Each structure stands twice: as structure tokens, then as C-alpha cells.
Amino acid sequence: MIEITKLEKAFGKNQVLKGVDLHVKESGICAILGPNGSGKTTIIKSILGMVIPDGGNIEVGGEKIKGNWLYRNQIGYLPQIARFPENLTVAEVIKMVKDIRNEPADEQPLIERFGMKPFLNSRLSNLSGGTRQKVNLVLCFMFNAKYIILDEPTAGLDPIALISLKELINEERINGKVILLTTHIMDLVEELADEIIFLLEGKIFFRGTLEDMQEMTGEVKLERSIAKILMKNSEEHKEMESLPN
């Protein structure tokens, strides 16, 4: 599980996280949603140790991550933008990541699943955005990690690859993995997520199932539910600004 307690982080005068408490259970798919600037990426990078919080505590698998790096071996991570040397071939990138991580990996089923065999000897500089994303998916899933963090995983994927990705995520859920998902594709969340976390202005505004959000907002579609929340929040801000000082 992942346990986050009273997490705080500011960048200059911008307070991005304001005492966030978040418990992610032993298995299942948790979608972390919110508008730009709400703190989604900061939470993910804090879990990965890429951002050092100003306050609070994070535990992964029952262990505090502060001063510890071995816990990262339990995590498979798909960043929104992954950058590797452009002159490397797909096969060289896979080998490089395997050598760096130095753990058992099984990339062949993923290469087959995403149709990557014809591209193994192609340089990254010659690949389309969608094909690069398939490379990133192979790198993320090939280590059989307990925790999987996916930041906008569908970027550039064609319909066939998208179906393959959904099937893969579902298989990993069945295998007992903990999956954190951030995406702007609400249909993906509706189809896959066991739980939804909605961040607003550095705090958790909502936590529950899709059905819970539908009941709260009175909307059937998730995108309409979120739009209603954002519109109401905007109206409340306007009312506050109109009050006399």
C-alpha cells in the first residue's frame, strides 16, 4: 500500500500541496484527477522521491521513503514525457534500462503485445510519438513491479494499442498490483478506475467510486461531474472576491 500523511509542498510562494492525506489500498486502480496545478504531478514525484516535500510523510509497502531508495525497485513508472538519447535504438534503450535497474525483466510479451518487433532496431529519433509511447510502456511494465504509476499513459496511442493497454492494466489489477493513474481521458477512468481521487487547489476535494461522484454531482458522465465541480468552485471564488474587505 501507499500511505501519505499531511503532505505539504510549496514552490516559492505557490503552495501546491496543503496537508494531503491519501491511503492507497493493497491492490486496484486509483485515478488521481484534477485541473492543471492541482498537485497531481507533485504527489507522484514525491512518491518517487523526485520532489522532496516540505512536510508530511510517505510510506510505500509499510516503509518510510525518506532517506531510502530501495523502495523504488518496487515501482514501475511511466512519465508523461520520457526522454532518452535520440541516437539509441529501441533494443538499446530496453537493454540500457535493464542494465541500470539490474532486476529480472520480461520484455518479450510486451514487445509482441504492442507490435514493437519491427521497430527494435529503429533509432528513437525516427519513431512517431505513438511508437515512442509503446516503448515507454514496455519499459514500465517489464519488471513486474508491485506498484505501477502511469502519468497520461494513452498519449499518442492508436485504437488497437489503447485496447491492448487497457487489457494490460486490467491484467495487472487482477494480479494484485497497485496502479496509480493520472489522465485527462475520462472514458479511461470510467472504464478502469476502482477509486477516484480529485484534487483541487492542493487538497483532496473528493475521494470515492465513480458511482459516489455521480451521486454527489447528479451527473452520469465523469467529465460532466468534474466540470460541475470546477464551475461551482469558480463561482465560489468570484463570490469571495466580490465581498467587501
Tell whether 221 is covered by a domain.
yes
* Residue 245 located in a structural domain: no
Average pLDDT, rounded, for the chain:
92
pLDDT tier, 241 (very low <50, low <70, confident <90, very high otherwise): low
pTM to 2 decimal places: 0.91
- The answer to whether residues 35 and 88 belong to one domain is yes
| Alpha carbon 81 to its chain's center | 12
Shared domain check, 229 and 150 = no
Domain residue limits at 221: 210-240
Is 142 found in the same domain as 35? yes
Q: Say yes or no: 99 and 43 in one domain.
A: yes
Alpha carbon distance 130, 161 (integer Å): 9
| pLDDT, average across residues 169-198 | 94
* Whether residue 139 sits in one domain with residue 68: yes
Are residue 119 and residue 236 in the same domain, yes or no?
A: no
Is there a single domain that holds both residue 233 and residue 171?
no
The tally of domains found in the chain comes to 2
pLDDT at 69: 87
Same domain for 132 and 89, yes or no, is: yes
Q: What share of the chain has pLDDT > 70, as a percent?
A: 96
Q: How confident is the model at residue 245 (pLDDT cuts 50, 70, 90)?
A: low
What does the pLDDT look like over 3-38, one tens digit per residue?
999 999 999 999 999 999 999 987 899 999 999 888
Question: What's the whole-number mean pLDDT along residues 93-116?
Answer: 95
Please check whether residue 22 lies inside any domain of the structure.
yes
5 - beta bridge partners?
57
On whether the CB atoms of residues 143 and 76 are closer than 8 A, the answer is yes
What does the pLDDT read at residue 159? Answer: 94
